Structure 1
Amino acid sequence: MGIQDIVEGKKQWRAHTARVKALPPDYQIVYKEIQRYLFKVGPIDLADGNLLTGIVDFFEEGASAGKGVLELIGADVAAFCDGLTKDSRTNADVYQESLSGRPGK
């Protein structure tokens, strides 16, 4: 990874966070909780940015339709995140494998 890649990644992340800040306050709170959850136990390929960008797209559509954020995702943020990552290998899986000493799937 070269310096140009790092600079481009920072530009993309700043644009992403600007989109999040443009969301209504309740959407921002839920997004931050989703982000915290996914960074902790989320999929290993989270760094490619597609999942978080997709969530912001989904939230922007919901906000423009006048829906509340909990109408979109339900009352359980963790269950929503688990549904998004159900078929992905997660950091939690890697951690469990390191404890058991057995390789993953």
Structure 2
Amino acid sequence: EADQRDLLSAVGIEADPELVAAKAAAAAKPTVSRTDRFQQGLAALAAFVERERHPRVPRPHKEPLETVEAGPGGEEQMVVSHFALGTWLNNQKARRAKLSPGQLAQLAEHGVEWA
């Protein structure tokens, strides 16, 4: 890749600074494991069920989730993100054959009928 960059520079083609910055930002973002993502989904589902008294989440629904993240100076800060709960639940249903018995049981605890 470095050789390609040198060749491109030699012919006068430079990297787009915005693209370079965007790639660096994406690489710096902490990646969320599938297990963590499932736990986030469960937390969002629990909040939804607590408030709405049923687990029938509309497909476009996004549930606000509060998470604690490290701030720019390393201090902890509360961040509210909007978890695409309807989409996540729909995807879990579509992939239910790949969910573990434990995951299915956790969904069932929140009243999810297909789990």
TM-score, normalized by the shorter chain, greater than 0.5: no
What TM-score, normalized by structure 1, do the two folds share? 0.24
Q: Quick check: which has more Rg, 1 or 2?
A: 2
TM-score of the two chains, using structure 2 as the length reference: 0.22
More strand by share: 2
**Structure with greater helix percent:** 1
